[in-house]
Amino acid sequence: MELTGAEIFVRALQDEGVEIIFGYPGGAVLHIYDALYKQDKVEHILTRHEQGATHAADGYARSTGKPGVVIVTSGPGATNAVTGIATAYMDSIPMVVFTGQVPTHLIGNDAFQEADNIGITRPCVKHNFLVQDVNELAQTIKKAFYVASTGRPGPVVVDIPKDVTAQKAEYHYPEKISMRSYNPVQVGHAGQIKRAVKLMLGARRPMIYTGGGVILGNAAESLTELARALDYPVTNTLMGLGGYPATDPQFVGMLGMHGTYEANMAMHHCDVLIAIGARFDDRVTGNIEKFCPTAKIVHVDIDPSSISKNVKVDVPIVGCVDKVLKAMLKVLKEGKGQPDAAAIKEWWQQIDEWRSKDCLKYDRDSEQIKPQFVVDTFYKVSNGDAYVTSDVGQHQMWAAQYYLFDKPRRWINSGGLGTMGFGLPAAMGVQLAHRDAMVACVTGEGSIQMCIQELSTCLQYHLPIKIINLNNRYLGMVRQWQEFFYQGRYAMSYMESLPDFVKLAESYGHVGMLIDKREDVQPALEEAMQLKDRLVFMDFITDQTENVYPMIPAGGGQNEMILV
Amino acid sequence: MRHIISILMENEAGALSRVAGLFSARGYNIESLTVAPTEDPSLSRMTLVTRGTDEIIEQITKQLNKLIDVVKLMDMTEGPHIEREMMLVKVNTEGNRREELKRDADIFRGRIIDVTDETYTIELTGAGTKLDAFLETLDPEVIVEVVRSGVSGIARGDRALRI
Ligand SMILES: Cc1ncc(C[n+]2csc(CCOP(=O)(O)OP(=O)(O)O)c2C)c(N)n1
């Protein structure tokens, strides 16, 4: 039987197993919305802005591992989605974004609501497709999901002209697809894995440094097993938190610009660095000239172009991180080699000495509400078991530093692009994927206003997110840089004319709380957690000039941290 | 160093802009770029001349390979290869220059393929350096127009870029 393009679209999503699609309607996608209306297998979530839709799909993907799916209309719908697409691209998040397009005969005519979606999104997608023939629609959708979710994942855009959604074709959804131009590597090179293990066992001051690849590649268990078998210290990047249990003694904290002193010092002094699913980002390495001066480096990554991009490595291994880690474990178990226990013991003594600096200390007795104290307290009252999304700024760093993630896919933030406005919509995606879970968004009064409209979506779909607004009345991270590097010239970093967030939350139909006394912090968090089926907006009036420490200043090496 | 990279890619709309976009986004330079369909209509072959350190060339080939439309590629410069470029030059023959221009063209094995009262059009094929040398022998005054095709390359011997 022949189906219209719009019906094919919906059937393909169903056959792909898509349960939720985030979107916003408009002229070019009305046939598709009509087809969505007539079925109930795929639930459509109406956000209040296309950026919200993309971040929500992204949060869904990050917390489940399944691709997030989005539909937006042509022109402004698509351009509004670009920030979310770029955010997902920078963090390698699997996502399929369908954009409406003007009818094929009008493409290139500057038609109403026409934009070159393929051209605009090309630099921030893993791949994109323009569907020109309804007979290719089903297969293109299959390809889009395949490309988005295999290899190094990423967003894929499928641009669908309106006439294609009206034309008819036989529906056939391919079970499997292969593409001659796309064959992601799976297993690592056996010889390289042996060489790596040999190098690792010879280490006297080893360091395991892991990134988002461990989360995306579902390799947290294998990583934990390997690290424990070796008794080597582990550090995670901002994107990699939860890849190794943060409460484990072998965990030395996050590394990088606002990482712990012990993690960065251990990086600087290590003799063998084992980098897994990480990409030597500039926020991690600090000054690249001074990076790990004495280390031989093993680098495991699924993307060959990540290897030796920023830092030359000694033993590169291209492959799926989980498979490579399992292969390493096998080599370890079969071989006779053992780590150098005496050297490792000495190394741990050194690391513990660095640790004793207690680099994350803050004034716990302060009269004012310290932002660190809020996150710390939330960690305790939620038993460390919440999904935590964040926006971008100081609050993001405090959330990463003080909430200890023991499990992967619990910490959801825009690490690569650093997109303010990400936190709330991402939390919606997480909550929709995990209806009964505790989902919190740690944010700032600047960031939350970038996608505040999504409070309305939260009401419509009963999403009981707990918003923890660390309100310092400043674009805090900007203010911190101005204090340190611009002699306190606070250009445009003061957030004036703030709304009354309590009333704002209430007007959206939610619960608002204002917390301006230290002793109210814990009771407020506890009360919010009791309100299981309500969204609670907690506006914490925090110490206005608190800074994020420790810090590697721009141009500094990992051993040149500024401490409190 | 100068590298000639040959790429087989899906003959899809937009494939060329993906390559061009990659080079501009990552700040790699392109000296020349040619693209045309192959004997297999589903494939295009692109030849790209670029310059960079070994590290940059390694990144370029990795990034190109990462493009979903790229099926296969080869860095011609890694082995013996033949490089050819075609050039059409229109020259002004006024002032008793015909004889001399004909001789110059012959020396470089060029062919005169069009003649008017005032002009010759000369066709010349060879490595880029040969084309450069020919242009240098000409008095700049006589050159009316120069068209170069960009480089094509093929490996010598059994080495071949095919799927
Ligand atoms: C969309 C966007 N615009 C600008 C920035 C630059 N930026 C980074 S952090 C920051 C301040 C964030 O302020 P707030 O959300 O109040 O958080 P705080 O740093 O105070 O915790 C800004 C403006 C950004 N990351 N994203």
What residue ranges of chain A have pLDDT lower than 50?
none
* Catalytically active residues of A, by annotation: 50, 112-113, 162, 477
User: pLDDT value at position A186?
Assistant: 86
User: pLDDT value at position B66?
Assistant: 96
State ipTM: 0.92
Length of chain A in terms of residues written: 564
Interface of A with B (CB under 8 A): 118-119, 122-123, 126-128, 130, 147, 179-182, 303-305, 308-309, 312
Residue type, A398: W
| Separation between Cα atoms, residue A450 and residue A475, nearest integer Å | 12
Chain A hits for B18, Cβ within 8 Å: 122
Phi, psi of A181 (to 5 degrees): -95, 5
B10, B59, B68 ranked by CB distance to A305: nearest: B59
Tokens of A252: 């030395």
Tell whether ligand 1 has an atom less than 6 A from the beta carbon of residue A441.
Answer: no
Reply yes or no on whether the pLDDT at B81 is more than 90.
yes
CA A477–ligand 1 middle distance (angstroms): 6
Asked if residues A87 and A419 have their Cβ atoms less than 8 Å apart, the reply is: yes
Helix (H) / strand (E) element for A208: namely: strand A206-210
B53 touching A, CB under 8 A? Answer: no
User: pLDDT value at position A413?
Assistant: 98
Contact check, Cβ <8 Å, A182/B55? no
List the one residue out of A342, A271, A300 whose CA is nearest residue A195. A300
Residue A497: DSSP 8-state = S
Helix (H, G, I), strand (E, B) or coil at B47: strand
Take atom 4 of ligand 1 and give the residue whose Cα is closest. Answer: A420
User: pLDDT value at position A554?
Assistant: 85
Q: Express each pLDDT in B87-136 by its tens digit.
A: 999 999 999 999 999 999 999 999 999 999 999 999 999 999 999 999 99
Angle between helices A371-381 and A394-402 (to 10 degrees): 40
pTM score:
0.96
Asked if residues A162 and A111 have their Cβ atoms less than 8 Å apart, the reply is: no
User: pLDDT value at position A311?
Assistant: 93
Give Cβ neighbours of residue A435 (< 8 Å, ≥ 6 apart): none
| Separation between Cα atoms, residue B42 and residue A58, nearest integer Å | 34
User: pLDDT value at position A60?
Assistant: 98
Side-chain half-sphere exposure of A16, counting CA atoms within 13 A: 28
Tokens of A1: 């039987």
- What is chain B's mean pLDDT, rounded? 96
Which string of DSSP letters, residue by residue, matches A123-164? GGSSEEEE---GGGHHHHHHHHHHHHHSSS--EEEEEEEHHH
User: pLDDT value at position A1?
Assistant: 85
A contact test, residue of B64, B68, B161, B163 with most A CBs within 10 A = B68
Tell whether ligand 1 has an atom less than 6 A from the beta carbon of residue A470.
Answer: yes
User: pLDDT value at position B13?
Assistant: 83
Torsion region of B37: left, alpha or beta (phi above 0 gives left; psi -120 to 50 gives alpha): beta
List the one residue out of B90, B103, B151, B102 whose CA is nearest residue B125. B151
Q: Which residues of B9-42 are buried (b: 16+ CB within 10 A; e: fewer)?
A: bbbeeebeebbeebbeeeebeeebbbbeeeeeee
